[in-house]
Amino acid sequence: MSAPGSEKRISLYEELREALPRQLPGYLASQRWFGGKARQIRSTELVDVIPLPSARFEAFVLLARVEYASGSGETYVLPVVCQQEPVESQRKAAALQVRSSERGIDLVLSDALRNEEFLLALLDAIENRVVLSGVRGEIRAVYTSMFQELRSSCSSALRPRLLEGEQSNSSVIYGDCLILKLFRRLEEGVNPDLEIGLFLTETAHFRNIPPVAGWLEYQAGGGKPMSLAILQGFVANEGDAWRLTLKALASFWHDLSKYPRKDLPEASTNRNSAPLDESNPPAVVSSWVASYLDAVGLLGKRTAQMHLALASEPSDSAFAPEPYTASFQRALAESVRGLTVQNFDLLRKKLPELPEEHRSQAGQLVDRRAEVLQRFHSALGTPIRATRTRIHGDYHLGQVLYTGCDFVMIDFEGEPARPLSERRMKRSPLQDVAGMLRSFHYSALGSLLVTPDEASAPDPNRRSLLPWAENWHVWASTRFLKTYLENSGAPAYFPASREEFSRLLQLHLLEKAIYELGYELNNRPTWVGIPLAGISGLLMS
């Protein structure tokens, strides 16, 4: 005997499966979170429809499969609310539409994350550990031991609010105590954001993350569960560390412009300063950057504590540190070689299109590909005497919230464009360190490029400020790395000697800068000077 409502569910599924594939390419292309905009879609298919029962509205979670002309396909999550009455033309144009022959009416499927009742129903599903059945699989809602504590801590009503502007996922804040992140692209296996968040919340008891309160997962047939959403405690904050840094830089440029130039020391032009060496600001400007460098020191301390926590449970195979192996080093060497060849070829191709101020430096760098490859070969051609652990995986100033007195790490998902299996791999914590050091460089040089309402250098000849920006980067990097090392002790995941430590850190710095080069060439050519300067500086060391 069929389960109650299953025949109606299957009938609707067939109608949607017939009508939606023609609309999905255009609909997906209009969504910020769709990661396949640069790829040619070959076909789309609706693989499941999971109703969210309610007497007050009709809603579904749709799973859509996208196949491309080349490369592997992807599965996306589309929560929709079904409306039978007319909707305003603007919302209708951004929705999916189906003519239901069974009901004899037109259905408009709009984004359910903009529907307050749907969002409250999701929260109720987690609180009651509901299982939602679809045609091919089911959604399971789970809460953790932190759920009731976090929910009861709310000082206001749990009115949901969708956050705007996210790129790869969608997040909803409930009142002032909970935040739900919906993973738009699904893969078999647990999402690292959930996996690491649970470990740091319940096993390592690391306090500088949003605690995990629950999650949603989808499973079809005999397949592995797929992480659908994560519910966490909401952290009140003053913005991320990137915003904090731009504000500090705006203040620095202002102070610099007001100080008599004849009394200022010349900014060092040595961009080759290694973060492992002591590098402090000149006395005349030290007071201008003191409070920011103190904050950077705290960030270094919290980063060290995060890495120690991630390596703290040797009995858990998913988190137990592992040694470097020859096969891992070969795979890493192949990965960085492929990245280098691809992005240096792209640099050569786009050289004539670059802003004129960057062409000379780009032209000099494009012929140094062999030198870069030799750097990687030297770093990875001998055994690395260290261990690998779980890491953040996409660590930069934008992944850290500033509360006004402390830092909270967020988004342990890794780089969303990479496969889930790759994002769960154990790596050197120095990869995270390198990401943060490169972020200091980005903020310092980027502050000379952003609009005045973000952070602006008053000097009309901004190129004259580049040496000071490079110095800022070195001061911040030095303070961060110093406090990071002071609070790390001597963990097994560090190489045995200072020379080996520096070589591994330089490897990840160069890898990150080359990744940035490709990103800017494809998305923001006016910023390409930042990775160009980063790579050139690293090659001088």
* CA atoms of 182 and 78, how far apart (whole Å): 10
CA end-to-end distance (rounded Å), the chain: 72
Average pLDDT over residues 144-170: 87
Q: What is the pLDDT of residue 263?
A: 66
Q: Containing domain of residue 103, as a range?
A: 6-233
In the structure, what pLDDT confidence band is assigned to residue 378 with cuts at 50, 70 and 90?
Answer: very high
Residue with tokens 């929705």: 95
Token pair listed for 298: 């705290």
* 3-class DSSP state of 131: strand
Average pLDDT over residues 432-459: 79
Residue 451 falls inside a structural domain: no
Token pair listed for 440: 């200091």
Q: What is the pLDDT of residue 281?
A: 85
Residue 398 falls inside a structural domain: no
Residue 103 in this model has a pLDDT that exceeds 70: no
Residue 90 in this model has a pLDDT that exceeds 50: no
104 by Cβ neighbours in 10 Å (0-12 / 13-18 / 19+) ranks as exposed
Residue 498 falls inside a structural domain: no
Average pLDDT over residues 222-246: 95
Residue 24 falls inside a structural domain: yes
> How far, CA to CA in Å, does 235 sit from each of 6, 161, 239?
41, 15, 10
CB 235 within 8 A of CB 434: no
Backbone angles phi, psi at 252, to 5 degrees: -65, -45
Specify the pairing of strand 74-83 against strand 58-68. antiparallel
How many Cα neighbours within 13 Å face the side chain of 486?
12
Q: What is the pLDDT of residue 2?
A: 40
Token pair listed for 29: 């292309």
Residue 413 falls inside a structural domain: no
- In order, the DSSP letters of 45-57 are EEEEEEEE--SS-
Q: Any idea which of 143-157, 222-236, 259-273, 459-473 has the lowest mean pLDDT?
A: 259-273
Gyration radius (Cα) of the chain, Å = 25
The tens digit of pLDDT for each residue in 263-317 reads 666 666 555 445 656 677 888 888 899 999 999 999 999 999 999 999 999 999 9
Measure the CA angle with vertex 511, ends 379 and 165; round to 5°. 155
CB 224 within 8 A of CB 189: yes
In the structure, what pLDDT confidence band is assigned to residue 382 with cuts at 50, 70 and 90?
Answer: very high
Residue 347 falls inside a structural domain: no
Token pair listed for 147: 């759920």
Residue 449 falls inside a structural domain: no
Residue 455 in this model has a pLDDT that exceeds 60: no
* CA atoms of 117 and 112, how far apart (whole Å): 9
Residue-averaged pLDDT of the chain: 89
* CA atoms of 187 and 63, how far apart (whole Å): 12
* CA atoms of 208 and 215, how far apart (whole Å): 20
Q: Number of folded domains in the chain?
A: 1
Residue 34 falls inside a structural domain: yes
H-assigned helices in 60-209: 89-93, 116-127, 147-152, 192-198
Query: Which residues are within 8 A (CB) of 520 and not within 5 positions of it... i.e. 6 or more apart?
Result: 527, 528, 530, 531
CB 228 within 8 A of CB 186: yes
In the structure, what pLDDT confidence band is assigned to residue 235 with cuts at 50, 70 and 90?
Answer: very high
Amino acid at 48: D
Q: Of 145, 227, 142, which is closest to residue 192 (Cα–Cα)?
A: 227
Q: What is the pLDDT of residue 415?
A: 85
CB 512 within 8 A of CB 438: yes
Q: Which residues of 260-272 are buried (b: 16+ CB within 10 A; e: fewer)?
A: eeeeeeebeeebe
* 3-class DSSP state of 429: coil
Q: What is the pLDDT of residue 152?
A: 87
Provide the whole-model pTM: 0.91
